[in-house]
Amino acid sequence: MLFKAYNGKFPNAKATVVDFSMVSKDGYDKEITKEIVLKSFNNGISDGNIIKRLFEEQMTTDKEFEEAEAVLWELNKKGVTDFTLITSEYWLNKEDFLTPEFEGNCLLPEEDEKENN
């Protein structure tokens, strides 16, 4: 809408909707956050993806990933292990996913790990 209202000065944003399932191998049973989702996606998306390029340290280490809240617009739980996310096609698109199924690791910030022990 802003794109049309301001003669193309705002980007014409397209949304990406991703349905996915997550299962913890170590029994993690706390709330799944946007940060956890993005860190877990690291192994399944291409190295050319803008999230991986801009936030490499946050995606691959236990450094806190506060920007995840702005990158993913919505994260909805559909079942025990099933979720839907909505984000901008700028951040994540169909071509970014290397395979339809993959395993990923999520290194949580130390304060989260202390709560889990």
Judged against a pLDDT cut of 50, whether residue 7 lies above it is answered with yes
> Which tens digit of pLDDT belongs to each residue from 78-110?
998 999 999 999 999 999 999 888 888 788 776
Element (H, E) at 51: helix 50-54
pLDDT category at 44 given cuts 50, 70, 90 is: very high
Nearest to 72 by CA among 18, 111, 22: 18
Average pLDDT over every residue of 67-86:
94
Q: What percent of the chain has pLDDT over 90?
A: 60
Lowest pLDDT segment from 6-15, 31-40, 61-70: 6-15
17, with CB counted inside 10 A (0-12, 13-18, 19+), is: exposed
Domain assignments of the chain as residue spans, ordered by start:
2-116
